[in-house]
Amino acid sequence: MYNSSGVKLGPSLGPSISFALFAGGTVFFARLFGWMAGEWRGASPGTIRGFVLGMSLIVSAILIIAYGLACDLHWACSCFFRNLSPKSAIAFAV
């Protein structure tokens, strides 16, 4: 997954962006499966709050990267003027 996405994104930013998506996805799904398996049962409310905050930051970062990719990686992102919706940015990332 990391290699194929790095190749498809191009040589300039492909390796760094695909690594961020790969690492974020790995942490996200590991924590999600841990939650589903009951590893977080009995954790304090503060720990669970940190868990939810961390997961939110990971999902936000993945969405920001997807939106940036949908903007064709231009320095001056013109997607705001092309009426690019966040829904199409998420579809682009998938």
One digit per residue, pLDDT tens: the chain, 94 residues?
A: 667 766 776 676 677 777 877 888 888 889 889 989 998 888 999 998 998 898 888 888 877 877 777 676 555 455 554 555 555 555 555 4
Question: What pTM does this model have?
Answer: 0.57
Q: Where are the domains of the chain?
A: 2-93
Contact in structure between 64 and 87 (CB atoms under 8 Å): no
Which helix (H) or strand (E) segment holds residue 34: the answer is: helix 14-37
